[in-house]
Structure 1
Amino acid sequence: MTVRAVVKGVGHYLPERIVPNAEFEKTLDTSDEWIRTRSGIERRHFAADGETTSDLAAAAAKNALKSADLEANDIDAVIVATSTPDLTFPSVATMVQNKLGMTRGFGFDVQAVCAGFVFALANANSQILGGMAKRVLVIGAETFSRIMDWDDRATCVLFGDGAGALILEAEEGTGENSDRGVLSADLNSDGSYKEMLFVDGGVSTTGTSGKLRMQGNALFRQAVEKLTSTADAALQKAGLAHEDVNWIVPHQANIRIIQGTAKKLGVSMDRVIVTVQDHGNTSAASIPLALSVGVEKGQIKQGDVLVTEAIGGGLAWGSVVLRW
């Protein structure tokens, strides 16, 4: 028997406060046109005072559970991808367990910055294939507004807060790529690129959370190349070709990166789920958020082949191919 990790439900949550590009014009030498032209972003959501990453994650998780018609105690494991946890410890995942009223199973966090959800999804797939769990709740959640340098116009206009969640469940498959569920994963990292994207603080260095620092142009060049190569690698592992793909669901960092990657993959933009205009870069939350929006809009349908791909600080990058 071949076990597959099949998607059973998806959901997302965005904070109430919507921040249009024009709001930055009051404090920065920038404009709505400048931001749109360089990033494709029109607006983003910021968490309210006292609203934490675990709050966003739990709200998205509740929507995913509703989508799957499941209760919290039907879940065996919770994996949260985040770089902006509520506390140094315990994990956001255990806080989500508590907020959901989940009294069984286990939970832990994954930290791979913007690639976090892809890493968490691959990990959840392994938990299911290895028999550790039957149902896994995989969440990407971030409050990046808490680590912005509001004087740095090159970065602070790019990021937003939000959460997305997806539930995987073990099902019997044929072992062919016609199966529903996760078909392949490709994960990579290279620490020599650290200076391209990092936060200048931490527990064992400054004792503070620090602020985000980014070398945008250098990162852009790495992103298109590495996202293309990891998507190709995952498709090859799955035994699929570009023409078999119904949807690319990329990390929503920058419209130019999304367009550049699609072009190199030979995939038209009408087969790419794009939400960056409405949410900005929500880091680990961006892919599950885009998946949920894609389902909500009727774009993603059962049986569709999806490629999710992301790159983040580390650098860490990867992709997952799944049939919805």
Structure 2
Amino acid sequence: MSNSKARITAIGSYVPKKRLTNLQLEKMVETNDEWIVQRTGIKERRIANEDEFTSDISYKAVRNLMERFDKTVEDVDMIIVCTLTPDFKTPSVASIVQAKLGIRNSGAIDLNAACAGFTYGLHIANGLITSGLNKKILVIGAETLSKITDYEDRTTCILFGDGGGAVLVEFDDENPSFYSSYIGSEGEKGKNLYCSNLSNHMFEEKLVGSGKIVQNGREVYKWAVSTVPKGMKSVMANASISLNDIDWFVPHSANMRMIESICEKSEFPIEKTLYSLVDYGNTSSATIPLSLDKGLSEKKLKKGEKVLLYGFGGGLAHAGLLIKWAL
């Protein structure tokens, strides 16, 4: 175990009620259920209402956490919302959530590491608590990707959905959750997965897109399948633990073929992998907390088990984290 003094003490999640199935997508773009399932493993995804935003999903995920684990959040001293789909450029989603929850003495920041956001958020929360700067932190991964998805682009609109998950991280120097981590980014490959904003001239060629997600799926796939297995080894080396000792692997739920390739290359059994993409699609920073909560509700995850989390995506950023499950 590292010198961590932080423990995950509760988890909650929320997904919008509206479903978008593969059969419904067949009526929107040139695609079909068999093709989508074969290539991605996704059967449906959840879609936020027009008046439902990332702050709403974040708030409801925290409420779910509070009710299930009988937790209060008035004394939370930092809120970290991991998202690439904030309600506004400013104020932050975290500040809106802080107001909705009535937390008076808390810092509030948004963190954008795209699909690696939640693992980055946990990495930072562990650092803040272990250093003594904070005592009780909410880490939320939430997205409304439907609001930036191009539903005329059949290569991307089949992937993305909305949802969120939240965990509470508290000071505990006797039974900490965090073993080790490994983070990285390859910004030069950022043009393979982007959503344009104020500027689209960062790269040599002018990028297309008007505020919608644009992805070179083949290049992102190649990058992930080569990068993540190496990162997994680094997380294990930092903890002096073998991959054989891992009880569950929770990668970002990008698509099933990618997860299968990562498991194959790292020689990790797919049966010991948790994912949320079948029912929720790719929810970016929300996939890992949704997968964890799904594993908990299905009674797969058990207290004391070693769990390897690995987020990867836009940036192209990635972050791996080895934790001891404490719930």
Kindly indicate whether the alpha-carbon contact (under 8 Å) linking 1:3 and 1:170 is maintained by their aligned counterparts in 2: no
Q: Secondary structure at the match of 1:119?
A: helix
**1:152 equivalent in structure 2:** 153
Asked if 1 retains the 8 angstrom alpha-carbon contact of 2:4 and 2:176, the reply is no
| Residue in structure 1 matched with residue 180 of structure 2 by the alignment | 184
C-alpha separation in 1, matches of 2:108 and 2:230: 31
How big is the alpha-carbon RMSD for the aligned residues of Structure 1 and Structure 2?
A: 1.7
Tell me, in whole angstroms, the C-alpha distance in 2 between the residues paired with 1:110 and 1:209. 22
Gaps of 5+ in 1: 174-178
**Identity rate, percent:** 36
Q: Per the alignment, in what secondary structure is the counterpart of residue 154 of structure 1?
A: coil
CA distance in 2, matches of 1:3, 1:246: 20
Asked if structure 2 preserves the Cα contact closer than 8 Å seen for 1:77 and 1:135, the reply is: yes
Partner of 2:194: 198
Provide the rounded CA distance (Å) in 2 between the counterparts of 1:53 and 1:274: 21
Aligned equivalents of 1:23, 1:59: Cα separation in 2: 27
Residue in structure 1 matched with residue 204 of structure 2 by the alignment: none
Partner of 2:90: 89
Which amino acid counterpart does residue 237 of structure 1 have in structure 2?
A: N
Per-residue deviation at 1:132? 1.3
**Aligned match of 2:21:** 20
Tell me: CA distance 1:198–1:2, structure 2 relative to 1, closer, same or farther (3 Å).
closer
Q: What displacement does 1:249 show?
A: 0.7
Residues 275, 287 of structure 2: 8 Å contact kept: no
TM-score, length basis structure 2: 0.94
- Structure 2 portions without partners, runs of 5+: 202-206
Counterpart CA distance in 1 for 2:56 and 2:73 is: 15
Residue aligned with 1:172, SS: coil
Counterpart of 1:310? 311
Count of matched residue positions in the alignment of Structure 1 and Structure 2: 318
Number of the residue aligned with 1:232: 233
Residue 202 of structure 1 contacts residue 209 of structure 1 at CA under 8 Å; is this kept in 2? no
Q: Deviations over 1:74-132 (max 9, x none)?
A: 31211000000000001101111111111112110100111111111101111111111
Query: For 1:145, what is the secondary structure of its paired residue?
Result: helix
Kept in 2, the 8 Å contact 1:231–1:318? The answer is no
CA–CA separation in structure 1 for the residues paired with 2:211 and 2:41? 27
Runs of 4 or more off by more than 4 Å in structure 1? 203-206
Please state whether the residue corresponding to 2:6 is helix, strand or coil.
strand
Query: What letter matches 1:190 in structure 2?
Result: E
Matched residue, 2:323: 322
1:53 alignment partner in structure 2: 54
Q: 1:209 deviation in Å? A: 6.8
5 Å matches for 1:122-141? 122-141=123-142
- Seen in structure 2, the aligned counterparts of structure 1 residues 28 and 2 have a Cα distance that, compared at 3 Å, is closer
Q: Does 1:212 find its partner at 2:208? A: no
| CA deviation string 1:284-318 (max 9, x = no partner) | 01101111111111111110100000111111011
Q: Deviations over 1:166-198 (max 9, x none)?
A: 11111123xxxxx54011111101110011100
2:71 aligned residue: 70
